[in-house]
Amino acid sequence: MAFDPSKLPSLLNPEQLRAATHTGGPLLVLAGAGSGKTRVITYRIANLVIAHGIEPWRILAVTFTNKAAGEMKERLEKLLGPTAHEAWISTFHATGARILRRDGAAIGIPSGFVIYDDSDQLAEMKRVMKSMGVDPKLVDPRKVLHRIDDAKNHGRSPDDLAKRPGYDELSRLTPELYRRYQKSLAAAGAVDFGDLLSRLVELFEKAPDVLQKYRNRFRHVLVDEFQDTNRVQYRLLQMLAGDGRGLCVVGDDDQAIYRWRGADVTNLLSFPQDFAGAEVVKLEQNYRSTQTILDAAHAVIAHNPTRMDKRLWTEESGGAPLELVVARDERDEAQQVADRVRAALRDGVDAAEVAVFYRTNAQSRVIEEAFRLGRIPYAVVRGRSFYDRAEVKDLASYLRLAVNPLSSADALRVINKPARGIGDTTVGRIEAAAEEWGVGIVDACRQSAQIPGLNASAQGKARSFAQLVGKLALEAANGSAGAAAEAALKLSGLEDAYLAEGSDEAVDRLDNLRELVGAAKEWDQTWTPPIDPDEPEAEGPTPLAAFLEQLALLGDADEKIAGPKVALMTLHASKGLEFERVFLTGMEETVFPHSRALGDEGGIEEVAEERRLCYVGFTRAKRRLVLSLARSRVLFGNLRFNEASRFLGEVPRELFGIKGAAKPSRQTGVHVVYDDARGEPEIDLGDDDGFEDRYQVDYSFDQRPAPRQPEIRRAVVRAPAPDTGAPFRIGMPARHPSFGVGMVEGIDGDKVAVRFPGVGVKRVVARFLQAV
């Protein structure tokens, strides 16, 4: 056996050792990032098995992701050998599925149940609504599903919801829809994602003997990332762990980043009360990062109003200063990040030790492109590569249909996306007719009156789909990719459907689609048609056709990269991981913190959660942390001029290696100038693109803020006032002779970006504008 418990004191510090070897009662390890919480769990399991003779199958360890579970299994296998696989190490959901497969029959769940994904759920809900005569136009099936999922995360049954009926149609109908939806899942022998937990609770409640069996079995239950458990997960733990004798949870309140998905950090904070006699161990030494990185992370998180103060220290004193990259725009940012990554790889840094983080998925596109162009091996971690995403493929299918209405695969993909009432049976009949007549799906739809078995309503819907494709073909006729993509987004109804859904996920998807539209517009401007020397006069492909071809090829190239890869991921996906070098991109207000945390729905709690996300991001870095921002950014198809993220302003400037005087950065020519007299550092891009490049980072808020209003402080990278003398500022209304009155969104030299209602954002020379 590779693991020798007597070696533990050399592998763990005294506090870690105490946690790893504690027996006889509930245990909470509450500690900051990189302090060895996950390591404690791993060694604790090894120690239980070897020193205490606990059979591995009596151990249940819950991790946050499947990836984390895989890594822990691997480490344990090295310590314990093959028996390590007998321990149950997995996520809450996977654990739920495993138990339900074995014992779900007690509550009528067959062992061969299927797990429904999003689209299955939606189809099911629509069927239920139909059977109840509920018009999906009045009550959005996705919203109903969202409510049901939320109810499941909180352990609420249909009856619970019925006790507190709402006043609007959605709230009034949800309890009954929920009840019937569960019924029809049961009839189909299916469960959805939320059921994997909520039905497990039900099983344990209704079949105490089953619960007893697992309680007897699992002598030890260990939970990583405990701060992000939700109500129903906590309930499960209470059931399984009983009085908590064998329960060990580890977490960090500063890394609670899933509140929006029902996670409740009070589970962590109330643990000592909920489990009497709980031992609490705090770890303070960080083994991951340099002191510089820790100081930066601490400086940021310290701005959160309510938190347990924890401070980490490390033996890695000092460390390289943080780097700040101020890019012209998002492409320049991606390029600069790619350049630095390439330089690191050339210097011998392992690609697997480099990661690039971003706040939202849509930001990955530009970075992926820069990496692809620069031949940097990369992988998008969790979450699909931009062009692989379902919604992006949907919109691409509309574009392909616009160019080639014969493509039946594309037609079938989107014939009912967004939902337009063309059900499976109808699709089946259309397909059969198309085959019989030897025409494409769209053509068959056009002649739907002749399709056997279709009623008038189905005929009408099929015909409208064909008409839609016809309209798109017309829009696409001039060959512009941007115009076609925009038309497809609107005419297809995808935009409206996602807007109407309004859930976080829908907003994300719509953002991705707008990003694709942005990519298409950019393509129009940058693509030059190839000239065939053989036939110089011949008509080449249109920009749209070339764009679609490029989309089709992109997926292929990705597959071919083998070996270590640079990891691209959202900040959320980075939890628990560590890398030598971390690039955190998009350090701008409205990007990060995300606009959702800043808008009407946002508040101190939302910004605090974004700040925790920032803390998570910083603390992934072992030695180098690079922060980047762009002066202007096209994101979701809109041009923005964002202020620098407040989080940037919360990092003491010394950590950027700047002491008072000017300090040019060698690699990029970016100058960060701190003018001590005014205490206002300035960033000078030092390029010669003709623009005035002096940006100010306003640190004036650094004077002690009022304690309960931390969010009024702001870091500002401020564009200089336009030199026209016109008094325009971001957020002001302005009038243009032909576009009317709009809102100023950005100022760049003498150009002002103004959003005009119904027109969009226009960059106009300031002297054509009038202040209103």
131 marked ligand binding residue: no
Q: Report the candidate in 598, 392, 336, 396 with the shortest Cα–Cα distance to residue 515.
A: 392
Reading the block at residue 407, the tokens are 């493509």
- Looking at residues 549 to 588 of the shown chain, list those that interact with ligand ATP (rule: CB under 6 A): 576, 578
Mark the segment that binds Mg ion (CB under 5 A) among 30-38, 99-107, 725-733, 760-768.
30-38
Span 268-297, contacts to ligand ATP by CB under 6 A: 287-288
The residues facing 12 across adjacent strands are: none
Q: Stretches 37-45, 104-112, 128-136, 565-573: which one binds ligand ATP (CB under 6 A)?
A: 37-45
34 binds, among Mg ion, ligand ATP, none (CB under 5 to 8 A by kind): ligand ATP
Helices (H) and strands (E) in the chain, counts: 29, 26
Q: How far is 620 from 573, CA to CA, in rounded Å? A: 11
589 binds, among ligand ATP, Mg ion, none (CB under 5 to 8 A by kind): none
- In angstroms, the CA 609 to CA 602 distance is 10
What's the closest the beta carbon of residue 255 comes to ligand ATP, in angstroms? Answer: 6
Pick the closer one to ligand ATP by CB: 615 or 674.
615
**Shortest Cβ distance from residue 220 to ligand ATP (Å)?**
18
Taking a C-beta distance cutoff of 8 angstroms, is the pair 226, 38 a contact? no
10 assigned ligand-binding residue? no
Phi, psi of 731 (to 5 degrees): 95, -5
Pick from 35, 198, 385, 448 the residue near ligand ATP by CB under 6 A: 35
In the window 33-92, what residues touch Mg ion (CB under 5 A)?
37-38
Whole-angstrom Cα distance, residue 265 to residue 254?
A: 9
One of 20, 33, 201, 326 touching ligand ATP (CB under 6 A): 33
C-alpha closest to that of 572 among 523, 509, 526, 614: 614
Name which of residues 604 to 643 contact ligand ATP (CB under 6 A). 619
Q: Which of residues 219-258 bind ligand ATP (CB under 6 A)?
A: 252, 255
Residue 205: other Cβ atoms inside 10 A: 13
CA 669/CA 671 separation, integer angstroms: 6
At its nearest, how many Å lie between ligand ATP and the CB of residue 225? 7
Among the listed ranges 35-43, 195-203, 205-213, 348-356, the one in contact with ligand ATP (CB under 6 A) is: 35-43
3-class SS of residue 20 = helix
Report the residue number, 65 or 448, with the smaller CB distance to ligand ATP. 65
Please tell me the chain's helix, strand, coil percentages from 3-state DSSP, rounded to the nearest 5: 50, 15, 35
**566-570 and 378-380 as β-strands: parallel, antiparallel, unpaired?**
parallel
Work out the number of other CB atoms within 10 angstroms of the CB of residue 718.
Answer: 18
Q: Find out whether 458 is annotated in a ligand binding site.
A: no
Active site residues: 37-38, 224-225, 255, 620
32 is in an annotated binding site: yes
Segment near ligand ATP (CB under 6 A); pick from 34-42, 449-457, 624-632, 755-763: 34-42
In the region spanning residues 585 to 644, those forming contacts with Mg ion, defined by CB under 5 A, are: none
Nearer to ligand ATP, 20 or 185 (CB): 20
Q: Is 37 annotated as a binding residue?
A: yes
- Does 38 appear as a known binding residue? yes
Q: How far is the CB of 267 from ligand ATP (least distance, A)?
A: 16
Q: Which does 459 bind (CB under 5 to 8 A by kind): Mg ion, ligand ATP, none?
A: none
252 binds, among ligand ATP, Mg ion, none (CB under 5 to 8 A by kind): ligand ATP
Q: Which of residues 1-30 bind ligand ATP (CB under 6 A)?
A: 12-13, 16
- Decide if 395 contacts 489 (C-beta within 8 A): yes
Report DSSP letters for 134-173, one per residue. --TTTS-HHHHHHHHHHHHHTT--HHHHHHS--SSHHHHH
CB of 334 to Mg ion, least distance (A): 29
Residue with smaller CB distance to Mg ion, 35 or 628: 35
- Whether residue 695 contacts residue 712, with contact meaning beta carbons closer than 8 Å, is answered with no
Counting Cα atoms < 13 Å in the Cβ hemisphere of 516 gives 32
Which of 314/512 has CB closer to ligand ATP?
Answer: 314
Q: What's the number of CA atoms in the CB half-sphere (13 Å) around residue 186?
A: 12
Say how far apart CA 459 and CA 225 lie, in whole Å. Answer: 53
Cβ closest to Mg ion, residue 37 vs residue 413: 37
Q: Which of 215, 225, 206 is nearest to 92 (CA)?
A: 225
By CB under 5 A, residue 364 contacts Mg ion: no
Q: Give kind and range of the element (H or E) at residue 665.
A: none
Q: Give me the phi and psi of 529, to 5 degrees please.
A: -65, 140
Q: Measured from the CB atom, is 124 or 228 closer to ligand ATP?
A: 228
Quote the CA–CA distance of 104 and 201 in Å, as a whole number. Answer: 11
Tell me the closest approach of the beta carbon of residue 289 to Mg ion, in angstroms.
Answer: 13
Work out what residue 192 binds among ligand ATP, Mg ion, none; the CB cut-off runs from 5 to 8 Å by kind. none
Task: Choose, by CB under 6 A, the member of 26, 37, 204, 546 that binds ligand ATP.
Answer: 37
Q: How far is the CB of 256 from ligand ATP (least distance, A)?
A: 11
Q: Compute the distance between CA of residue 42 and CA of residue 696 in angstroms, rounded to an integer.
A: 47
Say if residue 299 carries a ligand binding annotation: no
Question: Which residues on neighbouring strands pair with residue 115, listed in sequence order?
Answer: 191
Nearer to ligand ATP, 225 or 524 (CB): 225
Q: Is 34 in the site for ligand ATP (CB under 6 A)?
A: yes
Which window, 33-41, 662-670, 682-690, 732-740, contacts ligand ATP (CB under 6 A)?
A: 33-41
**Binder of ligand ATP out of 5, 20, 27, 38 (CB under 6 A):** 38
Which of the choices ligand ATP, Mg ion, none does residue 287 contact, using the CB cut-off of 5 to 8 A by kind?
A: ligand ATP
Length of the chain: 772
Q: Which is nearer to ligand ATP, 17 or 769 (CB)?
A: 17
CA–CA dist 709, 304 (Å, integer): 10
34 carries a ligand binding annotation: yes
Burial of 431 (0-12, 13-18, 19+ CB in 10 A): middle
Using CB under 6 A, pick the residue from 26, 36, 158, 722 that binds ligand ATP.
Answer: 36
Nearer to Mg ion, 44 or 235 (CB): 44
For residue 39, the minimal CB distance to ligand ATP (Å) is 4
Q: Are 714 and 697 in contact (CB under 8 A)?
A: no
Give the span between the Cα atoms of 283 and 404, in whole angstroms: 62
The structure tokens 């992370």 sit at 297
Q: How many angstroms separate the CA atoms of 346 and 342, rounded?
A: 6
* CB closer to Mg ion out of 126 and 575: 575
254: nearest Cα among 657, 611, 15, 8: 611
- Give min distance, CB of 596 to Mg ion, in A: 27
CB-based contact 710:704 (threshold 8 Å): no
Work out whether 576 is an interface residue with Mg ion (CB under 5 A): yes
CB of 42 to Mg ion, least distance (A): 10
Going by the annotation, the residues of the binding site are: 31-38
Query: Which parts of this chain interact with ligand ATP (CB under 6 A)?
Result: 12-13, 16, 31, 33-39, 252, 255, 287-288, 576, 578, 619
Query: Which parts of this chain interact with Mg ion (CB under 5 A)?
Result: 37-38, 576
Going by the annotation, the residues of the binding site for ATP are: 31-38
